Amino acid sequence: MIDVVKSKIKKGEKAKLRSKKNLKVASDRPRMVVFRSNKYIYVQVMDDLNHKVLCSVSSISKELKDQKLGKNIQSASVIGKEVAKKLKALNIGQVVFDRNGYRYHGKVKALADGCRAEGINF
């Protein structure tokens, strides 16, 4: 049983590395990282050159608390729009989308589409 768990963890780590190795991060294009848990969705925009988090939004953020967001596709779209608003406030128009090993469909795609709808380019 332990070997099965270890192999699942290794598969996840390999997927993260495969998706991350092709990212072209620059000073004017920070990295937008997506994390999905079983209950919530999290997004962080990171400046890898200065090792700082520029902004973050999740389905349990204070600014989105009144909307009662969960883990569905509509929540992901709302989170994408909210992170785009924060990026516009920071005068950032382009980011590198790091899907963190997750497949680009469902919630991850809805989050990216919500961000694109507000004018952020990937």
Q: What is the pLDDT of residues 49-88, one digit of tens each?
A: 888 999 999 988 888 877 877 778 999 999 999 999 999 9
> Domain-by-domain residue ranges, the chain?
2-117
Q: How many CB atoms lie within 10 A of CB 19?
A: 17
Contact (CB, 8 A) for 58 and 43: yes
The CATH class of the 2-117 domain is alpha beta
How many CA atoms within 13 Å lie on the side-chain side of 88?
Answer: 12
Residue of 112, 98, 84 whose CA lies nearest to 24: 98
More confident residue, 102 or 16: 102
pLDDT for 82: 94
Roughly what angle, to the nearest 10 degrees, separates helices 107-117 and 73-89? Answer: 40
pTM: 0.82
Which tens digit of pLDDT belongs to each residue from 74-85? 999 999 999 999
Residue 120 confidence class, pLDDT cut points 50, 70, 90: very high
Whether the predicted pLDDT of 111 surpasses 90? yes
